[in-house]
Amino acid sequence: MASITQNEYIARINRAFDYIESNLGNQFTLQELAGVADFSKYHFNRIFYGVVGETPFQFITRVRVERAATLLVSPANESISEIAQKVGFTDLSIFSRNFKSYFGVSASQYRQAKGKDSNFSQMDSNNRQASERPSTYFCFESKTIKWKANMELNKSVEIKDLPKMTVAYIRHIGPYQGDDKLFERLWNQLFTWAGPRNLIGGPDFKSLIIYHDDPNITVEDKLRMSVCITVPPDTKVDGEVGKMELEAARYVIARFVVDATQFGEAWQWLYGVWFPGSGYQPDDKPCFEMYPEEPKDGRFTVDICVPVKPL
């Protein structure tokens, strides 16, 4: 009974997470968030803190400044004021104070320092990986432009519009990189729930992992990751299993065949080599890994999917 109660609390907090992340530019009230989580407004703050280790507004502020940090080094090069408003700060001075408190430097100093790091990193990437630069070609079958790369792990790169997807998920908060046992446990939990409900398989079935935070910015014990499967929109979920929608968007989909230690290298190549020469930039939406087939002999076929918009 205690386990059922704990799972229900986590599920309701996850609903609040999803709502906040989908509406980060908006202003929230405690009553509004309590309603999303289906808790009394008089107890929601303490329950959220007990489960998450932060109050709702500490969580919102942290996610906002972390999102701002990502946007500060984006090729879009928006002004600091524009970025502050986009992530939900209505007062620039409040944004500046919170940003410096979290990162120890001002937003402009952060942008300048990361810009220099990025330039040096890109120069190094250019020198080390010149032979891996992808070339474009027109695919007559799909009537789209695709990229051909010499990087050994990469098998294909294409731009594709993905439809809206409803996914059921189990979420993890904390470190996850390189933890094979963690991923195995989460997938087993999700498939154990989905199997008896006949939710596994079919022509449109997909399994994916959504990464909600940038591991280069968010501290490890706050990282959020969700293992997911696509489900019909009217699917009923309960307990530790949540449900959310991924909106339709245009993605770069890069397929790799990797072992458990090479996922980071694949992501780094996509951001450090493919993006700079593609004419695209990452859009401000969740990115994820999609798994089109079962692992074989310790190797994974994975589609890394990052939302894009023109540079």
Q: Is 300 within a domain?
A: yes
Mean pLDDT check: name the lowest of 60-69, 108-117, 174-183, 299-308.
108-117
Residue 163 · residue 204 · CB < 8 Å: no
- Residue for token digits 């709702």? 56
Q: What pLDDT does residue 128 have?
A: 45
Question: pLDDT (tens digit, 9 = 90+) per residue, 295-309?
Answer: 888 899 999 999 999
How many domains does the structure of the chain reveal?
2
Same domain, 45 and 170: no
Mean pLDDT check: name the lowest of 9-23, 144-158, 252-266.
144-158
Q: Is 123 within a domain?
A: no
Same domain, 107 and 168: no
pLDDT at 91 over 90: yes
pLDDT at 169 over 60: yes
Domain enclosing residue 280, as ranges: 155-310
CATH of the domain at 56: 1.10.10.60
Spatial CA neighbour of 245 closest among 308, 183, 160, 169: 169
Same domain, 53 and 192: no
Q: What pLDDT does residue 3 have?
A: 53
pTM of the model: 0.80
